[in-house]
Amino acid sequence: MKIRRALLSTLADAAYDTVSSFHSDSAISFSIFLNHLPDLNSQQTPQVLLQAMEVWTGTHASLSPLHLSMSLPASGFLYAL
């Protein structure tokens, strides 16, 4: 939950408001990607989309120390969010 809250706290209102529910990791990931677009109401070039994806990847990677400091659950799986 700490990681989920950390991710959601980085979102601008426009990106937050585009996602109707944050019950899935996919929804949170998509909203973070949208957060890195300069304008949510216009078509973006492939270069802008690529740049947003690279920043999105960095956002997730920057939280990896949180992943490493968490202990694995009994199932042995480490959840992304």
Max alpha carbon distance in the chain (Å)? 45
Prediction pTM value: 0.66
**Average pLDDT, rounded, for the chain:** 78
Q: Considering only residues 55 and 2, tell me which one the structure prediction assigns the higher pLDDT.
A: 55
CA separation for the pair 14, 16 (Å, rounded):
5
Residue 74 DSSP one-character state: T
Model confidence band, residue 39 (pLDDT cutoffs 50, 70, 90):
very high
CA separation for the pair 25, 47 (Å, rounded):
25
pLDDT exceeds cutoff 80 at 9: yes
